[in-house]
């Protein structure tokens, strides 16, 4: 009961009547309590999809109310502009987002967010402040990336310092954060305590929604609210703009059209499409991403441009894939789809039209690592990612990627770098056509970071189809897996692009912000 009581207090504003009521309802089984009318912003704010002249401001209230956003270009809020935002209502779990527009380039932006209730009194919440900087046309670029949060039962351990890798990332003062997926682990219950390596005990903050696998919309939403209990994350969110994508654990492990939960006794809801629908709604409510439009309101893939130095192409390797199979088909079909024809065509056209020096492809899974998904009915290995473990010419999902890589080469698209997470260790891969079974592509680098706060695994074996050469890896010792954050094998990526030399330096850093690998890439021809 102590853990749950702590949870309710964290969700509410300290000192408010709401805290006392929640505690009374929990500890004394009270059924009624007169709550204060002031809205509460327990989840803080998030800043998302900052691009030229625009930024998304996200927040959540605890009751019907209207979001208000004040912003200025100085910390004193002199000459501030106030924007009347949208209504926070039950149908979105009281989450809202406001798109700030006409922002100048290269400016510090200070924001203040509050909610007004919908009574005639219009009582106001305590405001939450934040700060970010828009990127100027002649600025260098600096950002971080990573994924995999609160997985394998390693949740918020306050005695450890919480999810302190977010503080390490905040300290490097990036201009934005690329969130590579597995933002939550809806399929992974978080216990109050868990045995870690060397006999250590990991103690989690827990809430009812994370005590079991997520099946209801409330439980999926609860996963995001759980992460936002962490003070490191809330502080990070208020200062570092984010670009979100998603992967499998926002729904269930390795989900695709072949996912079968019929024998998984943890689930009473066996319909994967229904779980996907609920998980997708929760993701889009809590992600600070800019909605696409009515054409495809839940679309995740998009391009975020940062002027002449950088374009980020955010992929969705989950929503359009075919079923997970042995992945050895010799001809392309709906079964071999990974990104899908529409997304591939979009990516090729956007990359061809890009005038940026660097093109970063934000992928939620690596290309050349073998990522398994058990076996099929015939006992053949089933594969979760692109690779199929046979080291041969492109087959299955590799066919789609081979076509994309060939297009990039023949369209003379230079300076392409792939950034990803997913496999729960840090790595750097150089894809060399001279050492590949399928050779029609230009060489490129792929960098892997994570986990941010989850179990450490790996390293995975490589598939030789595209000739990946492992330049660096840092993972648990042989024979060990699912190590806790105590082991220190939590990683994030740190990217700097110099405005003068145009060089890109990629570093992989540990939970304390210490660099464990660095690689500087020089920009190729074709850019002034």
pLDDT of residue 151: 97
Distance from the Cα of residue 278 to its chain's centroid: 18
Q: Which whole-number Å values give the CA distances from 430 to 448, 515, 519, in the listed order?
A: 11, 19, 11
pLDDT along the chain (528 residues), means of 10: 37 39 39 62 98 96 98 97 98 98 96 96 96 94 98 98 98 98 98 97 98 98 98 98 98 94 97 97 98 92 96 98 96 97 98 97 98 92 97 98 98 98 98 98 98 97 98 95 97 98 98 98 74
Query: Which H, E and C letters describe 439-496, residue by residue?
Result: CCCCCEEEEECCCCECCECCCCCECHHHCEEEEEEECCCCCCCCECHHHCCCEEEEEE
- Do 435 and 500 lie in one domain? The reply is yes
DSSP 8-state assignment for residue 149: B
Q: What is the CATH number of the domain that holds 318?
A: 3.60.21.70
- Do 128 and 244 lie in one domain? The reply is no
Indicate whether 50 belongs to any domain: yes
- Do 47 and 31 lie in one domain? The reply is no
pLDDT tens profile 414-456: 999 999 999 999 999 999 999 999 999 999 999 999 999 999 9
pLDDT of residue 9: 34
- Do 478 and 445 lie in one domain? The reply is yes
- Do 511 and 384 lie in one domain? The reply is yes
Q: Which whole-number Å values give the CA distances from 209 to 219, 227, 258, in the listed order?
A: 5, 12, 27
- Do 238 and 367 lie in one domain? The reply is yes
Rounded Cα gap, residues 270 and 274, in angstroms: 8
- Do 245 and 97 lie in one domain? The reply is no
Q: Which two tokens stand for residue 109?
A: 């932006």
Rounded Cα gap, residues 223 and 25, in angstroms: 22
Q: Which two tokens stand for residue 299?
A: 């679309």
- Do 63 and 97 lie in one domain? The reply is yes
Rounded Cα gap, residues 282 and 224, in angstroms: 8
Range of the domain at 8: 1-36
What radius of gyration, in Å, describes the C-alpha atoms of the chain? 23
- Do 358 and 501 lie in one domain? The reply is yes
Indicate whether 527 belongs to any domain: no
DSSP 8-state assignment for residue 127: P
pLDDT of residue 66: 98
- Do 194 and 228 lie in one domain? The reply is yes
Q: Is residue 225 helix, strand or coil?
A: helix
């Amino acid at each position: 009961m102590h853990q749950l009581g702590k949870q309710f207090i964290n969700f509410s504003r300290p000192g408010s009547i709401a805290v006392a009521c929640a505690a009374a309802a929990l500890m004394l089984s009270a059924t009624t309590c007169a709550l204060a009318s002031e809205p509460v912003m327990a989840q803080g704010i998030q800043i998302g999809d900052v691009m030229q002249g625009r930024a998304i401001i996200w927040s959540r209230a605890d009751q019907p109310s209207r979001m208000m956003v004040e912003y200025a270009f100085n910390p004193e809020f002199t000459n501030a502009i106030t924007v009347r935002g949208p209504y926070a209502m039950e149908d979105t779990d009281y989450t809202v987002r406001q798109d700030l527009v006409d922002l100048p380039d290269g400016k510090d932006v200070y924001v203040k967010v509050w909610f007004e209730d919908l009574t005639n009194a219009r009582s106001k919440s305590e405001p939450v402040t934040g700060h970010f900087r828009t990127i100027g046309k002649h600025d260098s670029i600096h950002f971080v990336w990573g994924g995999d949060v609160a997985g394998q039962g390693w949740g918020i351990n306050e005695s450890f310092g919480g999810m302190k890798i977010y503080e390490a990332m905040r300290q490097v003062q990036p201009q934005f954060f690329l969130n590579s997926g597995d933002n939550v682990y809806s399929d992974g219950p978080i216990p109050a305590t868990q045995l870690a390596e060397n006999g250590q005990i990991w103690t989690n903050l827990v809430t009812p929604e994370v005590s079991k696998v997520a099946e209801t919309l409330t439980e999926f939403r609860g996963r995001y609210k759980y992460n936002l209990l962490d003070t490191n994350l809330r502080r990070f969110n208020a200062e570092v703009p984010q670009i979100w994508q998603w992967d499998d654990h926002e729904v269930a492990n390795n989900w695709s059209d072949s996912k079968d939960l019929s024998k998984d006794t943890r689930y009473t809801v066996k319909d994967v499409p229904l779980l996907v629908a609920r998980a997708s709604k929760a993701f889009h409510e809590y992600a600070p991403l800019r909605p696409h439009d009515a054409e495809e309101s839940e679309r995740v893939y998009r391009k975020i441009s940062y002027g002449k130095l950088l374009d980020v192409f955010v992929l969705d390797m989950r929503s359009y894939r075919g079923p997970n199979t042995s992945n050895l088909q010799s001809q392309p079909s709906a079964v071999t789809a990974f990104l899908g024809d529409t997304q591939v065509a979009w990516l090729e056209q956007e990359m061809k039209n890009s005038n940026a020096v660097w093109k970063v492809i934000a992928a939620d899974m690596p290309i050349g690592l073998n990522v398994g998904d058990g076996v099929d009915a015939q006992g053949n290995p089933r594969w979760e990612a692109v690779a199929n473990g046979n080291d041969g010419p492109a087959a299955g999902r590799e066919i789609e990627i081979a076509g994309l890589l060939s297009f990039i080469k023949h369209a003379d698209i230079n300076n392409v770098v792939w950034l990803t997470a997913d496999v729960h260790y840090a790595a750097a891969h150089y894809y060399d056509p001279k050492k590949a079974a399928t050779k029609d592509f230009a060489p490129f680098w792929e960098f892997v970071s994570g986990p941010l706060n989850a179990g450490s695994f790996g390293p995975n074996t490589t598939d030789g189809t595209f000739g990946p050469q492992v330049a660096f890896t840092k993972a648990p010792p042989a024979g060990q897996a699912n190590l806790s954050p105590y082991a220190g094998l939590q990683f994030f990526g740190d990217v700097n692009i110099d405005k003068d030399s145009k060089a890109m330096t990629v570093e992989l850093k540990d939970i304390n912000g210490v660099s464990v690998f660095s690689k500087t890439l020089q920009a190729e021809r074709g850019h002034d």
